[in-house]
Amino acid sequence: MKKLLFIFFLFLLAGAAVRGEDGAYIGVNIGTAMSSVPAPTQITTLLRSQNIRHVRLYDADPAMLAALANTGIRVIVSVPNEQLLAIGNSNATAANWVAKNVVAHFPGVNITAIAVGSEVLSTQPNMAPLLMPAMRYLQNALVAAALDRYIKISTPHSSSIILDSFPPSQAFFNRSLDSVLVPMLKFLQSTGSPLMLNVYPYYDYMRSNGVIPLDYALFRPLPPNKEAVDANTLLHYTNVFDAVVDAAYFAMAYLNVTNVPVMVTETGWPHKGDSSSEPDATSDNADTYNSNLIRHVMNSTGTPKHPGVAVPTFIYELYDEDTRPGSTSEKYWGLFDMNGVPAYALHLTGSGVLLANDTTNQTYCVAREGADPKMLQAALDWACGPGKVDCSVLMQGQPCYDPDTVEAHATYAFNAYYHGMGMGSGTCYFSGVAVITTTDPSHGSCAYSGKNGSALLNGTSLAPSSNSTEGGSGAHRAIGDVSSLAGVVSTALLLSVLLL
């Protein structure tokens, strides 16, 4: 009987592994392109205060590894691109690298993977022939040290290596890379390692010239008729992130590889950019993208192709990097500034205890700019009626009557309902005419519920069913090289159904 129970227990564990229930986590990249890099101990203090349990380093800095020792934080160390030549040409050099940067720190430092290079195939194609030898030599060293069962080896790719990424079912890898990708996928398959992929919906959106809606890039909920549908599989896509991840799965399947998981090693949204050329690099959009991303991943939502299978994901990145070259936004992808001060507020209701930079009690639900006035009026009527919001302050002569516009009155009612319902998931949607912001809309004597605000509800009422669930060094990321022109053009044409 005990044996049968043990076998049943193993069966349950195996089922959980297949469904990805144990793989849901969010990590953070730690870049160092800053004029004043925080001390390693400061970095680990910040990580622990924010309950960040997974990090990716762009190198294997011994001081940083020493600071991470005995913290329990899971760490991906990296072989910088400039070291590939030496390691890819010498088994002994690879063995020395592992001895110095892994064996010397493990298990005090919970190293879980080695990222070999970064976006080599798209940014330094002349180095491509060195990737597989480097990965094999490093694997040999892990095997010799009996660490191969604990530490995996892979290499982060730009999503630009995937061509015709929408519909995902038709995606395939750039065939000119087959000589590297085919043996690499077999290597990942044989070692149980993930395909590391950098996914940047921000750039896909920016390069689509308006064809990809901002809501689709930001994980905002879409009505069914606005979702992108893969005509071959009839799978519905509500965000760019899932579409790119599934494109990678389909591209691997095209090469007869179906059991290599995808790990997203970089994704995020800049919170500041040039006002004329990067108008959507804003704090509100960064908050929306990263908050929705965190919920999406931590809930093990999976993707349409693999629902319920978690996609481990690393946010780009922990700190703003003021010495990065390129456009203004390149310096402002951080969750924090160099002093550890939050770069913007995150709205993380429903994400658990990850990131203490959760300022949900300082967020507001407002009318979306440019929303249809008739839809706003209908939503306002519902909030003040079935929604049981106390709208008496909107009457003439009352504190929130002015300005007497449907947008202003709707903003008050939406926010009162949102806070009255505990800022729960889906309570700031109103058929798509409401949006969460960190900017307090209070004015004059009209105070909006927010931090320490009152509920302002006359009772309890749920929103109508239409309220969907709301959803290192300068070389470590190729500036702007995140999606191929061919892929973007194809995606733009096929996503045009979203605007019909």
What are the backbone angles phi and psi of residue 355, rounded to the nearest 5°? 65, 100
CA distance 355 to 333: 16
CA distance 320 to 309: 31
Which tokens go with 99? 């001895």
Q: How far apart are CA 1 and CA 52, in angstroms?
A: 42
Q: In angstroms, what is the C-alpha Rg of the chain?
A: 24
Residue 412's contacts (CB-CB under 8 Å, 6 or more residues apart) are 391, 393, 394, 400, 441, 446, 448
Nearest to 73 by CA among 55, 59, 100, 90: 55
Q: Where does residue 167 fall: left (phi above 0), alpha (psi -120 to 50 degrees), or beta otherwise? A: beta
Q: Which of 82, 266, 317, 321 is catalytic?
A: 266
Dihedrals φ, ψ of 350, to 5°? Answer: 90, 5
Structure tokens at 212: 């990809």
Residue 273 φ then ψ, to 5°: -160, 180
8 Å CB contact between 60 and 77: yes
From the list 137, 151, 139, the residue with the least C-alpha distance to 105 is: 151
Q: Are 405 and 441 in contact (CB under 8 A)?
A: no
Residues 498 and 500: their CA atoms lie apart, in Å, by 6
Residue 321 is among the residues annotated as catalytic for this protein: no
**53 Cβ contact partners less than 8 Å away, ≥ 6 residues apart:** 25, 27, 72, 73, 74
Which member of 21, 119, 317, 470 is catalytic? 119
SS3 116: strand
φ, ψ dihedrals at 440, nearest 5° = -70, 115
Instruction: Give yes or no for a cis peptide into 107 (omega within 30° of 0).
Output: yes
Q: CB neighbours of 382 closer than 8 A, spacing ≥ 6?
A: 430, 464
Residue positions counted in the chain = 500
Helix (H, G, I), strand (E, B) or coil at 380: helix
Question: What is the DSSP secondary-structure string of 178-194?
Answer: HHHHHHHHHHHHHHTPP
Confirm whether 317 is a catalytic residue.
no
| Residues that are catalytic | 119, 266
